[in-house]
Amino acid sequence: MNVLVINGPNLNLLGERDPKHYGTLTLSSIEHRMEERAAEYGWDISFHQSNHEGEIIDVLHSARLEYDAVILNAGAYTHYSYAIRDAIEAIRIPVIEVHLSNIHARDPFRATSVIAPVCRGSIIGFGAASYILALEALVEIED
């Protein structure tokens, strides 16, 4: 299994950004935890963070040729990017949507995910553990 983890806008600031919603772990420490869990399964895992919508779309397009699955936290693009939604729909490898915070328990605009209908599933609200749970989901659906 070859997995790509994509983090969208502002997630590079994890650790200092709004810890009440996002916790205190940095993105690199979350990635390190994922690396450790992936290694237990003998999986390859890669990471990409971008603050740019078009770059995320380009990375999703490339992923379809190189990876078996994508774990995606699209940040605020989750709520309105039809372009990222269409890219996910186009690539036909499973994409698991993750969020650190419970997007249904915050500002009303966050309760909508335009990408959820085209993702394999969504893991929302478990802090950094959402990312680990996404790996566990891939274990369960791998067949």
Nearer to ligand DQA, 23 or 44 (CB): 23
d(CA 2, CA 93) in angstroms, rounded, equals 11
Which chain residues interact with ligand DQA by CB under 6 A?
10, 73, 75-76, 78, 99-101, 103, 110
Nearest approach, Cβ of 103 to ligand DQA (angstroms)?
5
Nearer to ligand DQA, 63 or 71 (CB): 71
Q: Which residue is catalytic, options 32, 52, 79, 99?
A: 99
User: Contact 10/75 with Cβ under 8 angstroms?
Assistant: yes
Is 82 catalytic? The answer is no
Is 80 catalytic? The answer is no
| SS3 category, 10 | coil
For residue 62, which of 39, 91, 37, 98 has the smallest C-alpha distance?
A: 91
Nearer to ligand DQA, 41 or 127 (CB): 127
User: Contact 60/85 with Cβ under 8 angstroms?
Assistant: no
For residue 6, which of 44, 48, 43 has the smallest C-alpha distance?
A: 48
Nearest approach, Cβ of 11 to ligand DQA (angstroms)?
6
Nearest approach, Cβ of 50 to ligand DQA (angstroms)?
13
For tokens 């372009």, the residue is 83
Nearest approach, Cβ of 10 to ligand DQA (angstroms)?
5
Nearer to ligand DQA, 113 or 138 (CB): 113
Q: Which residues lie across from 121 on neighbouring strands?
A: 96
Q: Which residue is catalytic, options 22, 67, 77, 131?
A: 22
- Determine the distance from the C-alpha atom of residue 41 to the mean position of all C-alpha atoms in its chain, rounded to a whole number: 19
Q: What residues act catalytically?
A: 22, 99
